[in-house]
Every structure is written in C-alpha cells, then in structure tokens.
Structure 1
Amino acid sequence: MMKQIEINAADGIATATIFRPDNGASAERGIIFYMDAMGPRQALYDMAQRLADSGYIVLLPDLFYRFGAYGPFDGTSFSDPTAREKIMTMLRGTTQEMTKRDGASFLDALTAAGATGTIGAVGYCMGGARALTAAAAYCDRITAAASFHGGNLASDAEDSPHRLAADIKGRVYIGVAGIDSSFPPEQSARLAEALRTGGVDHMIENYVGMAHGWTVSDHGVYDETGAERHWKRLLNLFEEALA
C-alpha cells in the first residue's frame, strides 16, 4: 500500500512515497529507501513495497527535488546522451551534505507515518553512499544501513562516506558488484579499513558476476538470481538489527 506525500525538506518541498504492508498488518519499524540516479519509478516502488510487506513502513523520497520536474527516467536512460547529461547534472548538484541535511525531515516523515520503532536505511547506486552518510549523521536513530552497488563509498572526496565511519553506531552491509568502476577494489579496501578501525559491525560482500545495477529490475544488467540473493541479505540484516 503506497501513498504519495510531500515533505518540508532542507531546501524546499520534496515529494516522497510511503509504503505499508499490503496485508494491512501494523508496522512500527521504519526504513529510508535511498533511490538510484534514475529517480523514483515503478521498479523502485516495487522494491519498496516488497520491503514494506516484510513488516516495515518505508519512505522513498525524491532526492532530486531541488530540480523540479524531470524525466521520467529508468534503468536504460544512461544509454541516451541527453538523459545521461540531465541525470549527471542532478547527481552532481545533489551533494552528500544536502542529503545529510534532508535526513532530519525524512526521519520526521517516517515518525509521522507511524514508524516509532527502530529505523534502517538502504540505498542503491548513488543512494548507497547516502544510506551510509545518514547512518553516521543520525546514529542515534538509524540502527542498520545497507548499500548495493553503491558508488564512491571510499573516494578521495571530502564528503566520502568512509570518512564518517567512526560515527556509525549501527550495523552495516555493503553489497558490491563484481566489476564496478564506481567502486573499485582499492575503495573497497579503504572502506573496510575505515569501518574496522571505526569499530563498526559490518560486512562487505562481493557479488561475483554481477554488474552495477543488478538488483533493480529495469536495468539491462538485472540478474534475478543475484537480486534474490540481495533480498535475502537485506531482509536478514533488518530483521536482526531492527528487532
């Protein structure tokens, strides 16, 4: 069951969608679902609903709200030069710091929707880094965070999430595409060191044979077997850490 809402976010009104279990079951645990670079769409709605049906209230906000109307895009849009340029412009213009500031209003929206229990975060592609950043910035609220084919999780940038590892108090899971230029082996090693040094309960898992975007059904590289494996890991993480 989904419902469109508007959130008074850091820099304006952000559209978002709240998902609840389709069977009408009550839920108190909440999850922020950080989108990939193509924005909210049916493929992500289906994923958020599946997560909600496991017993959660899920919030899927539009991180590109500062740009007004755009798209629609999907997992194939990167192959179109015009769409790719627009997506990259919005991606570069939506900094980690912006998303960090938005986190307070996202958490408030979850609370208003009835998520008065524990909170988790999950992100895909660009959202993976946002989930980790949120876990550090709101460590008193977010008790588990997951990233799947997240890019630049441990880059040289000043706002790279690995620099915040010591602030994360919850459990972390990182699902890595087997070959991913946005998160090469050297970044994986750097992130692992930062998480371990920071005392974070974490797991970094390499999905051999999977490409960047393998979990999302409208990507050309979608892999059903790999996606189901990702669901098993994600649901297990939240079931244990948000209990």
Structure 2
Amino acid sequence: MKGRYINIPVASGEQFQAYLAISVDGRGPGLVLCQEIFGVNQTMREVADLLAEEGYTVLVPDLYWRQERGIELGYTEADFPRALALYEGFDEGLGVEDIQASIRALKGLDECTGAGIGVVGYCLGGKLAYLAGCRLPEVACAVGYYGVGIEHALAEAENLQGRLVLHLAELDAFCPANARAAIVEGLGRMAGVELYVYPGVDHAFARPQGDHFNKSAALLAHERTIAALRRAIGPDYNLSALWEEHIRHEFDTRDVPATMATMVAEPYVNHIPTMTGGVGYRDLSRFYRYHFVHNNPKDMELTPISRTVGASQVVDEFIMSFTHDCEIDWLLPGVAPTGKRVEIPMLGVVKFRGPKLYHEHIYWDQASVLVQIGLLDPAGLPVAGRETAQKLLDESLPSNTLMPSWASSADKPR
C-alpha cells in the first residue's frame, strides 16, 4: 500500500474513510475511484496506486460505510454472498452523495490540482461513475467499467455535462446483450460519449489475477480511459520530449543510470524479432549496461521518419543505420562483426505511465538485417535488404519487385 487513509466529512457530521494515493508528481488532477461490490480491498488500492502513477491524485471512498465500515472482501466463493448482500442493500443515491463529499475533500487537498474532477468505477462503481457524471456538474469525466444496471438509468444521461466512457464486456451476464443494446441505443449518439464493447471477455475482465482477467482488453481499456481523462482534466505531459530524453541517454550520453531514471520503477523492453530486453528494473538495468547502451557501433544513427503522439504512448517510425563492426547482442546476438553497412526501418511503440516510460516494443525486419550482413541469401525468397530502408525514404522507388506475378497484371483492366 503506497497511499494512506483520510476521513471524509458528510453533512450529518459523520465521517467515513477513503484511501488516498498521491500523484507521482506530488500534485495532480483529482480522481474519485469507486469500488466493486467487494469494498475498498487490495485490488482497489492497487488500481488507485496505478492511477497515481499516471499523474492523478486518487481518492477511493468506503461507499459501504453506512452499512458496515472497512469492508475488504476477496473474490472467493465464501466472500461472494456477503458482497452480494451488501450490494443489494446499497443505496445508490446516498452513494452518489458520498462521491460528492469525496470530490469536495479532493478539491481541498493541496495535492489536487485543477477544477475538473474525474470519476472512475468498476462493477457497482461503474454504474456509480455513470450516475455521478449525470448528477454532479463538477465531474468532467466519468469512466465506468462493466457497470451493472446502467440500462435502467439512461434517462439521466440528458444531464451529462462532461465526458463519459463506458467499457462493456460481450460475455457479461450482469449486462447481457439486450442491456448493452439499450445502452448503445440510448447513449451512442451523444456528444462526448465513448462506448466500447470488448469481444470475448467477461465481467471483471480488467481485474488482475481475476478469473476473467483479459490482459489485452484490460490494457486497451486502460489506454482509452487515460486518453479520455487527459482530454478532460489533464495532466498534459510532453511525451515526445520525454522520449527524446530517454533516447539521448541510450545513444548519445550512453548513461545507464540516466536512462533508467526516465522509466517507471519496474519497466520492460521487448525487441520483438530477437526477444531481447528485460522485465523489471534489475534485469533491464543489467541488459542496458552490458548488452545495449555500451554494445552499439559508434556510428549508429537514427533517422526519424514519423512520430505519432497519443495520450499515453508514442509510436516512432525511423531508420537505424550502422556499420556492423562489433557484436550487437540485442540485434544480432552471437553473430561476429562482418563490417557490413546496415540500414533498417524500425518501429517503436513506447508506453508511458504519467511522466515515466513504462515499456518499449521495438519492431524491425530481421530478414532484411540478415540479408545485409550476408547471412541470408535473398535469391528466390520474398525478402529484401537495404532497399526496404531506401524505399521508406523515397517512395518513388519501384514497388512489387518481389512479386513474380506483378508484370502479368500490367494490361488488365483497372
């Protein structure tokens, strides 16, 4: 647990507890995170800590306090009946009032910046996030993950003032096909509303270690959530500049500690064709120190082609060129220097958490590299060498030179 608990006052003079996770920046836009039916348990605290890494100051209110304080249930068969009973006895109207009290508390914290507040919720919290977006004008962005019962409150959407994002699971028995259809029909044409249905996944697909966890769907939903929050309440990070700083330490200063300082506490790098890199600070630092930063040819050069900057990631297209005058562990592991000149198009997908780099996925055509250093004979194979980089720089160069059938279509109707 990285955060702490604080007390939230309500109009009656009573108080309830909420878990507070402070932005990685020390101050950040405020988020209220609404619990599943299992209370403010370890999973909810970990989600809050993750969102704090993204730059937000996050408050997770104990929304069950009126029934029983401090509920922390697990996901076992023994805990589910208790969670269901609490859910069935829950008053949504009072829950929204408690969210409003949490918003007031957030705004009073020095660690919270900006006028707009976001509300994110899961399961029970997914519907509460929706209702908060409809009922509370200070909610600039509401995000609901597999909210239960939203289809019964669609009329409230006419009061939406901020953005709304709903993540729906195709196989969710708590929000079956007819309910999803009603939600899409009722909300899909509204400005500022984003609806996403994730095929082949079930309720709680974004809960790590859960029975229905689906990593690809969870990552995509998280990216969409962060993109919506960034647009509505910030924070605004210059990801391009942060990426440039990381590259500078990799290739110019060749400073491993400075390179690692641009990354989250437990980052990872994956060079897809050779499966080189590292997961976690310890292995990645070792990889950078002994197999990457000090393991590149001195004339290695990166020529930028294009860059796409999103809310939480950068996609870089570039050409890497070098003389193969040393063994390059990460690119050509185990291959002795050939002295050959190499030029290869590359693509990097670089993910950030807040102001820190989280991961790199780097792609290139390894066959083209092997052709250029003489380890692969391209004769009769649909592969090319340096031409792939040259054509990326000059699109007027011939296309389809590897297609034997290309000439046969020259005189055919177009």
Aligned pairs (5 A) from 1:83-102: 83-102=79-98
Aligned to 1:238: 229
Aligned pairs (5 A) from 1:27-42: 27-42=27-42
Cα–Cα, structure 1 residues 185 and 41, in superposed 2: closer, same or farther, change >3 Å?
same
Aligned to 2:258: none
Indicate yes or no: 2:98 matched with 1:109: no
Of residues 192, 195, 204, the one that matches 2:195 is 204
CA distance in structure 1 between the partners assigned to 2:92 and 2:69 by the alignment: 21
Retained in 2: the 8 A contact 1:169–1:200? no
Cα–Cα, structure 1 residues 200 and 63, in superposed 2: closer, same or farther, change >3 Å?
farther
Aligned pairs (5 A) from 1:43-54: 43-54=43-54
Aligned to 1:8: 9
Structure 1 residue ranges without an equivalent (≥5): none
Q: Describe the SS at the equivalent of 1:220.
A: coil
Retained in 2: the 8 A contact 1:31–1:122? yes
CA distance in structure 2 between the partners assigned to 1:191 and 1:211 by the alignment: 17
CA distance in structure 2 between the partners assigned to 1:171 and 1:71 by the alignment: 30
Q: For residue 194 of structure 1, report the CA deviation from its aligned partner.
A: 2.8
Q: Describe the SS at the equivalent of 2:96.
A: helix
Indicate yes or no: 2:168 matched with 1:176: yes
Q: For residue 57 of structure 1, report the CA deviation from its aligned partner.
A: 0.7
The one-letter code sitting in structure 2 at the alignment partner of 1:110 is: L
Indicate yes or no: 2:125 matched with 1:127: yes
Retained in 2: the 8 A contact 1:18–1:59? yes
Higher helix share: 1
Q: For residue 205 of structure 1, report the CA deviation from its aligned partner.
A: 0.9
Of residues 146, 159, 165, the one that matches 1:167 is 159
Between 1:126-135 and 1:87-96, the stretch displaced more is 87-96
Of residues 147, 153, 177, the one that matches 2:144 is 147
Between 1:186-195 and 1:94-103, the stretch displaced more is 186-195
CA distance in structure 2 between the partners assigned to 1:131 and 1:10 by the alignment: 21
Structure 2 residue ranges without an equivalent (≥5): 235-414
Retained in 2: the 8 A contact 1:174–1:205? yes
Cα–Cα, structure 1 residues 242 and 72, in superposed 2: closer, same or farther, change >3 Å?
closer
**Deviation per residue, 1:153-185 (Å, 9 max, x gap):** 113xxxx3x221000111111111121121122
Of residues 206, 216, 231, the one that matches 2:207 is 216
Retained in 2: the 8 A contact 1:32–1:60? yes
Q: For residue 121 of structure 1, report the CA deviation from its aligned partner.
A: 0.8
The one-letter code sitting in structure 2 at the alignment partner of 1:122 is: V
What is the CA RMSD across the aligned residues, in angstroms? 1.9
**Higher gyration radius (CA):** 2
Retained in 2: the 8 A contact 1:4–1:16? yes
Paired residues in the alignment total 230
Between 1:53-62 and 1:225-234, the stretch displaced more is 225-234
Between 1:11-20 and 1:174-183, the stretch displaced more is 11-20
CA distance in structure 2 between the partners assigned to 1:192 and 1:224 by the alignment: 24
**Deviation per residue, 1:29-67 (Å, 9 max, x gap):** 111101101111222211111111111111111111112
Cα–Cα, structure 1 residues 8 and 152, in superposed 2: closer, same or farther, change >3 Å?
same
Q: Describe the SS at the equivalent of 1:210.
A: coil
Q: Describe the SS at the equivalent of 1:205.
A: strand
Q: For residue 86 of structure 1, report the CA deviation from its aligned partner.
A: 1.9
CA distance in structure 2 between the partners assigned to 1:42 and 1:55 by the alignment: 20
CA distance in structure 1 between the partners assigned to 2:15 and 2:85 by the alignment: 20
Q: Describe the SS at the equivalent of 1:150.
A: coil
Q: For residue 224 of structure 1, report the CA deviation from its aligned partner.
A: 2.0
Q: For residue 69 of structure 1, report the CA deviation from its aligned partner.
A: 4.2
Scaled by the length of structure 1, the TM-score of the pair is 0.87
Higher RCO, Cα 8 Å, sep 6+:
1
Share of identical aligned residues, percent?
22
Aligned to 2:178: 186
Retained in 2: the 8 A contact 1:44–1:216? no
Retained in 2: the 8 A contact 1:17–1:60? yes
Retained in 1: the 8 A contact 2:30–2:58? yes
CA distance in structure 2 between the partners assigned to 1:21 and 1:70 by the alignment: 24
